[in-house]
Structure formats: C-alpha cells, structure tokens
Amino acid sequence: MSTTSTGALVLLGAPLGNPEDASPRVAAELARADVIAAEDTRRLRRLLTELGVATRAAITSYFEGNEAPKSGTLLEQLYEGRRIAVITDGGMPSVSDPGYRLVRVAIDAGIAVTAAPGASAVTTALALSGLPCDRFCFEGFAPRKPGERRRAFAALAEERRTMVYFDSPRRTAGTLRAMAEAFGADRPAALCRELTKTHEEIRRGTLAELADGAEADPPRGEVTLVVQGWPGPDAAEATPEALAGAVADLEAAGEDRKAAMKRVAARFGVPRRTVYDAVVKSRSRQ
C-alpha cells in the first residue's frame, strides 16, 4: 500500500546510558514531533533536559503493558496528520521494546514510517565481545522457566552464528549455567553490563567461567550476553558414547527421540544410522 498524506511515525534510537550518544537528528526529531510516545516519560524528560531540547509535543506513555491498546489511539493521531516519535529507555524501538505493533498498523494503514537510528545494545555488545561478528542472531530474552530455557538452548546447540541475548541480572547466573550445559562449558562468551554508562563492564571467558563469576559476583544493571556459535562437527569427538549421550540430553530436554537422533547426526556430521547404532548399543548396556 502506498503512503498517504497523513502524519508520520518516527522511531528514535535512544542512548543506552550516555546522553552524548544521541545524534543531532534524534534531538531534532524530538523537537519537531507533535506527539512523543515514550517507554518511560520521566527518563524522556531527563533526556530532553540533557540534550537541551525544548518541545511542545504531547508526551504519552507507551510501554509493554499498554502497547496494544495505545497503538490504536496513536494510529488515530497519525490519521489526523500528527508526527509521532517513538522512543524507548535505550536502543531502538521494536528490538525487545515497544514499537513493533505500532509500526505494523502504521504500515498496514499506508502511513509513512521512518527512523532516526541510534544506539543498540545488541550490536554494541557484539562489537565489544571480541567474538565473531560476521554472522550473528539476536534471541531476545531467554525463557524464565528452567525447563523452557533448557529446551530453547538445546535447540540452538548447533547454531553456528554468534548469539546475543538480553538478560535480567537476577537470572544471569542461572542463564549462563544452563548455556554451559547446552552449549558446552568451554564455549567462549561475554557478559556485557551497563553499556556506555559509568559502571560499564565486559566480562569475557568461557560459559563456565562466566557462570562462576556471576554466582560469586552477581552483575547489576542491564545485561547483554554474547555467545560464540557452534564451531562445527569434529569427527574425533563422535564416539558412540558421545552420540548416545547427546541424544539422551535432548530427550531429557523434551525432544522426540527420532528428532534428537537427526539433530545429533547433523551436529557431529555423521550418518543417522551411526547415531541409531550408538543409542541401541548404549541402551543394551543398561
């Protein structure tokens, strides 16, 4: 659908912590907007002060709890010709933050959608991690429940791209421990917290080392985890015991045995028959 002559929706990349990271265009859009939909209105007002921006815009709260109903209200204002800026606490709207629903309804309505891009915790942590950046995937927040978390990580055990996660500092030690079990204790990773802020910290090491460190010295503030992808199969590691054990681990995580054997065969680069024989041999010994 082509865009209409109605208003426009502008997504603003907010600083992660340091207000000096805000681009001049972000400041200009804040000053120009008719409406500013902010995840945290108090943080927005502080940012306006820090940037020296004076705005006559109507400021409205737009967060996870009211995103669905508020999107309809904002869409009506877009139809009325208003320029609406969407800004989160930090980073780009829609990336594990409010914004996606409004973008979707605006696009479907033929309303212009643009962005004044800025900081992103995903790419900032990725660049600082020291891990491969040529191919990566963003997995959002890991599941809170242990069982769901184990299944999610088991499904990514053979993901070759570097993985980026957001995490709550209260759950970080458990998340890292579960990652170590699914991906291997020696898998390289990085724990990035409070990016661009006064107490910014990057911890680098293996998943086991980071898990131990998070248990001994729990991180504070906003946490982003970066985990190197699976390096690929090693024929020397494809022993019958390893194959059978990998299948057992996937079954314990809730995966069907046939699907588990297929996944293990792909992970180790061996025929599925080899995995089947290893499983049968293992069970005959029990």
Question: What's the pLDDT band for 3 if we cut at 50, 70, 90?
Answer: very low
CB atoms within 10 A of CB 54: 9
Amino acid (1-letter code) at residue 91: G
Closest C-alpha to 99, from 48, 64, 123 = 64
| pTM value > 0.75 | yes
- The answer to whether 206 and 225 have CB atoms below 8 angstroms apart is no
User: Rounded to whole angstroms, how far apart are CA atoms 71 and 69?
Assistant: 5
- The answer to whether 164 and 137 have CB atoms below 8 angstroms apart is yes
pLDDT for position 86: 98
What are the structure tokens assigned to 235, written together?
A: 């024929």
Query: Where along the chain do its domains lie?
Result: 8-119, 122-227, 235-284
> Of 3.40.1010.10, 3.40.50.300, 3.90.550.10, 2.60.40.1080, which CATH number belongs to 8-119?
3.40.1010.10
Question: What tens digit of pLDDT does each residue of 21-40 get?
Answer: 999 999 999 999 999 999 99
User: Rounded to whole angstroms, how far apart are CA atoms 85 and 175?
Assistant: 35
Question: What tens digit of pLDDT does each residue of 63-103 get?
Answer: 999 999 999 999 999 999 999 999 999 999 999 899 999 99
**Cα angle 213, 172, 255; round to 5:** 115
pLDDT for position 1: 38
Share of the chain above pLDDT 70, in %: 97
pLDDT for position 198: 93
Distance of CA 174 to the CA centre of its chain: 17
pLDDT for position 286: 67
Cα within 13 Å of Cα(27), Cβ side? 15
3-state class (DSSP) for residue 58: strand
What are the structure tokens assigned to 141, written together?
A: 């927040």
Architecture of domain 122-227: 2-Layer Sandwich (3.30)
Q: Point out the least confidently predicted range of 38-52, 148-162, 210-224, 272-286.
A: 272-286
Q: What is the mean pLDDT of residues 159-188?
A: 96
